[in-house]
Amino acid sequence: MELISLDEIVTNTKQPRQTFYETSLEELAQSIKERGVLEPIVVRPKDDKYEIVMGERRFRASRLAGLDQIPAVVRDMNDEDAAADALLENFQREDLNPIDRAKAIEALLGFMTWDKCAKTLGVSESTLRRHLDLLELPEAVQRELIESFNSVSGSCFSEAHARVLKSMNSDPAIQARMVQKIKDENLSAAETQRILEAIREVPAKTEAFLRVPLRVTEEILKQIGKAQKKSKPFKAQTAKQHLQALEKVANQLSDVIDERLIEYMKLEEMNQVLSTCATAFSELEGFCNKVRMALRKDDHGFKEVYIHCPLCGRIELVGSLRCAVCWTVLRRCLDCGLYDETYQRCSVSEDYVYLSEAESPQETSRSFNCSDYKPKFEPRPGR
């Protein structure tokens, strides 16, 4: 070990660490001023000078601290050993950014086999390839990763994000916007992956996905998925399940609709809720019209006549025969305008229908599917 003049030392242009942060160097320089260089650097003789093998940060900080000399271990080393030692010293350090590390590995593989390089660094070949994958990223993304690695402001752009963005190498413009979106919205790598998947699934909505929050992206995909599902062949055996689901949703909707809510809503919120309800109403109205057309198409004798269930009060179409809630027979002679309650008979057929049957009909009763049934009043849904 010798004390060597700083003027006699030159840096290694191929050394692993290519990025030096001023704040970090100044902190190290202050420490050197107070306590000196505690660990000597390693150099090798080269062209009448000494080339740094390990310790360039200490060398730079010593200059900042105003030193003339620095303790150094002088070793005779060839290019391969010098490169290996330099990389090995930096490889396990947490403050070596991923791009510098990858470039150093790439340089080492210039004169080492994959197997020897992996053994020298104490890692697997798959780990080496994983590091080198980062060099396939565009320079703009690499610079962002370097800058964010030691960012004082704590940038959320990480190596994991960079690896996710690698799948978009064919479109640098989208990559750049995604980098900014990651920082603006503090997205995780998994969330970033989800947005890129959305872009690949629905390229036409790329601009929307880049602008809106992830939750809105998910909603857009959900709506697109619904449309695609509707375009597929419908399975007739699931119609009953769909009807049950529709009944459930309708009941839930009825529970949440309360006009008193308007008193607590802001102007913007009222506009939004009206838009939402209008959209739902439009879809529901379109569906109802198609059901009406289907009922009229085959001449089922369809009449859009609404009646009250005599037991639970639910409003049903007369053609439903039974109440969907309590399963009560809907057509009662007692509610029919053609029934003479005094003489307990039908004024059309002139058949006797006793009051007990008129009040509580069964499927065997005359009124169950009577084509002449004429309710005394015709309630409409919502009335």
| Per-residue model confidence as pLDDT tens digits over 127-172 | 999 999 999 999 999 989 988 876 655 568 899 999 999 999 999 9
The class (CATH top level) of 2-134 is alpha beta
Indicate which residues carry an active-site annotation.
56
Half-sphere exposure of residue 210: CA atoms within 13 angstroms, side-chain side: 15
Q: Which of the given ranges, 92-96, 100-104, 304-308, 337-341, has the highest pLDDT on average?
A: 337-341
Q: What is the pLDDT of residue 192?
A: 94
pLDDT tens column, 253-298: 888 888 888 889 999 999 989 998 998 889 889 988 888 888 888 6
End-to-end CA distance of the chain: give it in Å, rounded. Answer: 99
Beta-bridge partner residues of 4: 70
Q: What is the pLDDT of residue 168?
A: 92
Q: In this model, does residue 317 exceed pLDDT 90?
A: no
Domain parsing of the chain, residue ranges: 2-134, 138-227, 260-298, 303-383
CA 96 – CA 99 distance, rounded (Å): 8
Q: In this model, does residue 214 exceed pLDDT 70?
A: yes
Confidence of residue 28 (pLDDT cuts 50, 70, 90): confident
pLDDT tens column, 299-308: 566 778 888 8
Across the chain, what does the average pLDDT equal? Answer: 85
Q: In this model, does residue 20 exceed pLDDT 80?
A: no
Q: In this model, does residue 92 exceed pLDDT 70?
A: no
CA distances from 146 to 85, 101, 111 (A): 23, 11, 26
200-204, 312-316, 336-340: the lowest-pLDDT one: 312-316
Determine the average pLDDT of the residues in 242-247. Answer: 81
Report the percentage of the chain scoring pLDDT > 90: 29
Single-letter residue type at 143: R
pLDDT tens column, 37-60: 888 989 999 888 999 888 888 888
Q: What is the pTM of this model?
A: 0.54
CA 165 – CA 174 distance, rounded (Å): 9
Q: What is the pLDDT of residue 6?
A: 92
pLDDT tens column, 224-236: 877 676 666 666 6
